[in-house]
Structure 1
Amino acid sequence: MTTIGEMGEDALIAAFAPRLPVTDSEILGPGDDAAVVAVDGDLVVSSDILVQDVHFRMDWSSPEDVGWRAAMQNLADIDAMGAVPTALQVTLAAPASLDADWVLRFADGLREACEPHGVGVVGGDLSGARDVIVSVTVLGETHGTEPITRADALPGQLVAVSAPLGAAAAGYVQLAEGREIDAESIGLFRRPRPRIGAGLEAALHGATALMDISDGLLRDAARIARASEVGIEILGADVPLHEGARLVAIELQVDPRPWALTGGEDHAMLAVFPRASMVPGGWTVVGETTDAFAGIRVDGEEPDRLGWDHFGA
């Protein structure tokens, strides 16, 4: 084992940089003070962070898993604006005792997630830290179309999701209990697989509001409700449940619906459409917007819990 402290920063960069994905929009990539990227339309930017033992555990996830997750949750944020992701900037902070092979495999995970979408890693930074921390800034472009925000939904419109929910939460429960009931849902917790392009699809079908489900359907729907100044009524029976989550719930003898409503980290798209004919095939209508109340309700009731909150319950 060679640690990153023993290898040194320059040698580490020389080892992992060739393993990173490349994008066609790259004019100048890693190795200079800043990257240069070509943009078609408006530039769309987002960022996210992964902290060891908060967002991932070394004993649950491989380095490739961490790289994949770091990339994919950021690609989903760009897709959730109806834009196309093009490039990542990745910053890694880690203790000097970290095995250098972990960093190389982390780069492999980034490449595995990004290459199918033509996204490259164009730069970033390295730093020492007590724990492993990954910070990603993602760039995207609109190709001349208007980005879709959370703020333009109107009363009387339909709320829909792009995929079944609850798999990531079911995977987390299995890992926390040291069990393997459904391998697919465990895999989806470690490596989210949102359909990148679903957000753009929603935009092209006339969506009035859009975001990805990272903190739970209810919490993220409440964010659209607040930004658009509408109420959102979710019909619990209409929320599609991932089959793996259903299998895990049967084995554990628990209700799987909270996993779909509040579990988060599936990174499916949540969109509002003016009418049913505009909802793309493969999407599921789960509720509607209203001016009868503010905030979020499920089957007419205010929920006790919305989902993940970084600083609260």
Structure 2
Amino acid sequence: MTTPVTPQGQETVEGVAAYGRPSRRPTVPSTRADRLAREAAEAAEVRAYQTHPDVVALRVEQVRGQVDRLCWAGIMLGLAFTMTNVQQFAAAGATPWSLPWLAAWLLDPTVSLVLLAILRAEQVTARYQVQTGRWVRRAKWFTLAATYVMNTWASYAAGSLSGIVLHSVPPLVVFAAAEAITDLRDKLTDAVMAAFTNARTMTPLPDGQPVHEPRTEPRPARPSRRVGKRRTLFADYLADARAAWRPGVAVTPAWVRQVTTCSRGLSSRLSAALVAELESPAASAETPDEPESGVWQ
């Protein structure tokens, strides 16, 4: 059987199939515009996934873990450096291996363990942007100040400037790291909240998967006001913002802080939750139309 040949000398699909070989179709050369269009489509697909809030949150969590490990390593090394000086301060010239000399080794761990417990608690509270009380900060500053004084006392008494500088650096680094790590965790949480807040302005993913919207809290019945102090919940702030909203008012974190007096970190979540409620079909059906006169009937 002969293979049919086209006028240009190319085999047809039927002739190639008869010999059991893969079909070879004439290829159309792509232009530069076609290549740029394909690259633009691929770039849009990659960016859609890279800016997806879940991907952003995962990357922030990875950075948060790296920051925590580095800060904890620096704090532990700084406290270990101060242990010997604090022991010498507490021993006060006692005979080595005597009972007072051995008991002096317990002073620095006593102060350091309290400081580490406070920092570990702040690691969780800062993650969820929960403000701690005054005594937490006072206890942290007191333990850091006690470590600094005991570590540099001998150098101050001897009048050694080099000793003061040498033994001041580790406690001050621990103090700065203890304060900075809390703010860093708070800002990393803000980064995740910003990714979820801006998710509604993003283009859906190429495979048709909708962009992840911030999860809104359900609408529970608002608890009655009780006499005395009570912790304000997320649902309480959301209910206050919902009651203060009127058609035509732009819901922004600044507006939410103005009407609810909530914190700056919580205002982003509240604004995102309220916007999601207002844009839902159920909320649109329940909202009455405003009459032209501007007076509600």
TM-score by length of 2: 0.22
- Between Structure 1 and Structure 2, which shows a larger proportion of helix residues? 2
TM-score by length of 1: 0.21
Give the structure with higher Rg (CA).
2
Query: Which has the higher relative contact order, 1 or 2, with Cα contacts under 8 A spaced 6 or more apart?
Result: 1
